[in-house]
Amino acid sequence: MSVSLTPDIPCKRLSELKTDEEGVITRVFGHGSFRNRITEMGFVRGKSVKVIKNAPLLDPVEYEIMGYRIALRRAEAELIEVTTSPESRSSGANFTTSEGTFPQESANRFLHKAGKTINAALVGNPNCGKTSLFNMASGAREHVGNYSGVTVGAKQASFHHKDYVINLVDLPGTYSITEYSPEELFVRTHILEQMPDVVINVIDASNLERNLYLTTQLIDMDLKVVVALNMYDELSHSGAQLDYHALGRLLGIPIIPTIAAQNVGLTELFDTVVAVFEDNEPIARHIHINYGHDIERSIGELQKLIWQDKDLVARYSSRYLAIKLLENDQTTLQLLQKTPNYDKICATAQKERQLLERIYGEEGETIIADAKYGFIAGALEETYHGAPRDKHARTSRIDQFVTNKIWGLPFFFLLMWLMFQTTFTLGNIPAGWMEQGVSWLGNFVQSHLSEGSLRDLLVDGIIGGVGGVIVFLPNILILFFFISLMEDTGYMARAAFIMDKLMHKMGLHGKSFIPLLMGFGCNVPAVMATRTLESHKDRILTMLILPFMSCSARLPVYVLLISAFFPRHQGLVLFSIYLIGILLAVGSSLLFKRLFFKQTEAPFVMELPPYRVPTGRSVIRHMWHKGSQYLRKMGTIILVASVLIWALGHYPKGDASLTPAQQQEQSYIGHIGKVIEPVIRPLGFDWQIGISLISGLAAKEIVVSSMAVLTDSGDDNASLVSNLQNLTYTEGKHAGEKVYTPLVAYTMMVFILLYFPCIATITAIRREASRKWALFTLCYTTGVAWIVSFIIYQIGSLF
Ligand code: GDP
Ligand code: MG
């Protein structure tokens, strides 16, 4: 169907104008990101454009607008509607004033008419009241006509609303915009080919869950949408309450309650349609529905390929096309047939689909639909109160327990306790094996290589350093296994919901909770996990406080010091360390929010995906994804740091008669330790502790291995614990005193908890945020560590 959408005004597409012809822009078609880009270039309604050069085979075409020359692709120019009525041409001289405005009255009047015509389409489920709304709106006013496709038809009407002309199309009812019925295809083709200025999504308020599904598809298509929340009378009668304003803010779509059958709310509805058309509606914004890590990655891969066809992305949102490809949508494949890298796109789409199907054990379409329902459930959970909606029965029964006001939180803490408990009790078994393996390897190398620096490097530097760290891999993998399991079943999303209120008190969002929790495992994947947060502010804020979550790398240090100096109350002491970290995270968050992130941002939906039994493959894959970051750190930073620290302690080589400790003291690292001693003396630390702390910059596990090297008494039977307990100052004003007291040990644990997280974490923050924030984290954490340790040591010394 190709009726002129503004019947009495001759309109053309900009691409149809010949060289030297001039036109006035009446509208820009297409999806949001295209419109935004073209607007930024100056192609705004009411401005005049002149064609500088346009030959049939020439692409791009050159135009002049507001005194600038701009080249547009032909495909882009096809999406810009212009008018070239004789009237407007006669006043052409006035069109090219510096502001591109139209002083002349006739031109004004003319343009007024052309620019104030809105093409709107009614989209919604069957029986939601579209036709009632259509009839009421057009109400035997001007003309109503039929137009039809092959098997389905639609009614069209034009009527006046205030000083606008609204062309309204009543499209057939559909539950979804896929390709399974002629109605669906008709609606889809109308939206994508006719490109209405505003889509009016009619929703049956008494059946929100199912009706909003279609809305999520409109969101993917990146269109200008207004929701008519119809049957509002039924919602009110049911006693349920919907905060439709809040829901609108979450979706980025204004929602207007209507009772179409009684002509209630239609004026407000069309006022809002006008406001959205004029980009005057504060709520309207384009949001992304978060499909979860795996799908988002696949979408990104496909988008990269789609972007290569500039003509294509002028017409369609690349994100929409990518999602459709993952759903194996044949109509979209046909659409892409002409694009140059069609084969590549097909192959990639198939590869990504198979990958997703292997991870989730379900088809792409189902996975995406589940994610959409998760999004809807999350949005309604925050805005809908009252009579139960028709949900999946299983999900709703589990949710009643899990997110219960009374049981929710204790149940959550029980799970957390169980998780940490299992991580360490179960993890210690394979950790023990690995420890034996590492020491066997050390002995093997020791006995098969001749004495010398190479052997020392291998045994003490590489095997000792990396081996001391790698033994924690089982614990870390188990922790990540649990976290992945909670994510994949859908429980993690509920945990975020339960924690939402609490997190808001910290100035954060419930979703930040997941990365923070992961931080107890390893800060590096936790920093990456902040990607799931929609808001930039939340992302940065979460990253900044993450280092205070005591990662598992710090645990070996605590375990060593606690078993040496706090034989009683072990659990309590350990708990207090974790608690100090959490309290400082809360405090810092509140402080940063005051300092850096004062303005509030648009809210976003916390998805509540349906519960599912996770496939072993997906849990293992997700566990591995996180664990491999840890392994990478092992192979790179920890390896280099171990060798470096070994070398600094090994050279310059002293007399062969020196004990290992004396050798350390006269080595480079001994000198460095002495240099920083004055800075850490107020914390009760000596130069040896200083060296351990410096070595911990690379990774905190290394603190233990450098303590082992530094306190080596030469007695092979003495354990590290007894070495630490017996270590005394040999000179200076503390001579004869013990180096480590319980107070020093506690202060040291606090310092290790708080200072510089590790190089890998700082690198991750630099990559995810910026160099500036990485530098800030570095200074802030170390500063806080010093101050808090100072307070603890000085006050502790008084007793
Ligand atoms: P369509 O299939 O989306 O075009 O829906 P219709 O306009 O044909 O409406 C279906 C039924 O819902 C009709 O019986 C209407 O009278 C009724 N209806 C429409 N709007 C409302 C409303 O706001 N409230 C109530 N209670 N009924 C409505
Ligand atoms: Mg109808």
User: Residue 167 Cα, ligand 1 centroid: separation in angstroms?
Assistant: 21
Whether residue 556 has a cis bond before it, omega within 30° of 0: no
The one-letter code for the residue type at 166 is I
User: Residue 204 Cα, ligand 2 centroid: separation in angstroms?
Assistant: 13
Q: Rounded CA gap, 778 and 766, in Å?
A: 11
Q: Rounded CA gap, 428 and 390, in Å?
A: 46
Buried-exposed string 713-740: b where 16+ CB fall within 10 A, e elsewhere = eeeeeeebeebbbebeeeeeeeeeeebb
At 240 the pLDDT is: 87
For residue 404, give the nearest of 497, 486, 487, 488 by alpha carbon: 497
| Ligand index nearest the alpha carbon of residue 130 | 1
At 402 the pLDDT is: 77
User: pTM of the entire structure?
Assistant: 0.75
Q: Which helix H or strand E contains 617, and what residues bound it?
A: helix 616-633
Model confidence pLDDT, tens digit, residues 308-364: 998 899 999 999 999 999 999 999 999 999 899 999 999 999 999 999 999 888 888
- Ligand 1 atom with the smallest distance to the CA of 202 is 3
Q: Rounded CA gap, 225 and 247, in Å?
A: 14
Rg of the chain taking only CA atoms, in angstroms: 33
Report residue 212 as tokens.
């909003």
Q: Are strands 164-170 and 68-72 parallel, antiparallel or unpaired?
A: unpaired
Model confidence pLDDT, tens digit, residues 566-618: 988 888 898 899 999 999 999 999 999 888 887 776 777 878 877 878 888 88
Q: Which of 123, 125, 127 has the most ligand 1 atoms within 8 A of CB, as the residue to mutate?
A: 127
At 259 the pLDDT is: 94
Q: What is the DSSP string of 359-420?
A: HHSS-HHHHHHHHHHHHHHHHHHHHEESSPP---HHHHHHHHHHT-TTTHHHHHHHHHHHHH
Q: Rounded CA gap, 303 and 687, in Å?
A: 54
User: Residue 156 Cα, ligand 1 centroid: separation in angstroms?
Assistant: 18
Q: Which helix H or strand E contains 63, and what residues bound it?
A: strand 61-65
At 27 the pLDDT is: 87
Q: Whose CA is nearest to atom 13 of ligand 1?
A: 129
User: Residue 129 Cα, ligand 1 centroid: separation in angstroms?
Assistant: 4
Q: Rounded CA gap, 152 and 148, in Å?
A: 6
- Ligand 1 atom with the smallest distance to the CA of 135 is 7
User: Residue 133 Cα, ligand 1 centroid: separation in angstroms?
Assistant: 8
Q: Which portions of the chain are predicted below pLDDT 50?
A: 1-7, 88-103, 140-146, 148-151, 391
Q: Which of 123, 125, 132, 204 has the most ligand 1 atoms within 8 A of CB, as the residue to mutate?
A: 132
Model confidence pLDDT, tens digit, residues 64-122: 988 889 889 888 999 999 988 655 444 444 444 344 444 455 555 556 666 788 999 99
Model confidence pLDDT, tens digit, residues 16-45: 998 999 988 988 998 888 988 888 888 888
At 321 the pLDDT is: 96
The one-letter code for the residue type at 710 is L
User: Residue 170 Cα, ligand 1 centroid: separation in angstroms?
Assistant: 13
**Residues in Cβ contact with 373 at an 8 Å cutoff, skipping those fewer than 6 apart:** 209, 213, 609, 610
561: left (phi over 0), alpha (psi -120 to 50) or beta: alpha
At 628 the pLDDT is: 82
SS (H, E, C) 454-521: HHHHHHHHHHHHHHHHHCCHHHHHHHHHHHHHHHHHCHHHHHHHHHHHHHHHCCCCHHHHHHHHHHCC
Q: Whose CA is nearest to atom 24 of ligand 1?
A: 231
Q: Rounded CA gap, 259 and 234, in Å?
A: 9
Q: Which helix H or strand E contains 330, and what residues bound it?
A: helix 330-336
- Ligand 1 atom with the smallest distance to the CA of 230 is 23
Residue 483 to residues 374, 411, 625, 653: CA-CA distances in angstroms? 19, 16, 12, 47
Residues with CB under 6 A from ligand 1: 124, 126-132, 173, 230-231, 233-234, 259-261
Q: Rounded CA gap, 258 and 270, in Å?
A: 11
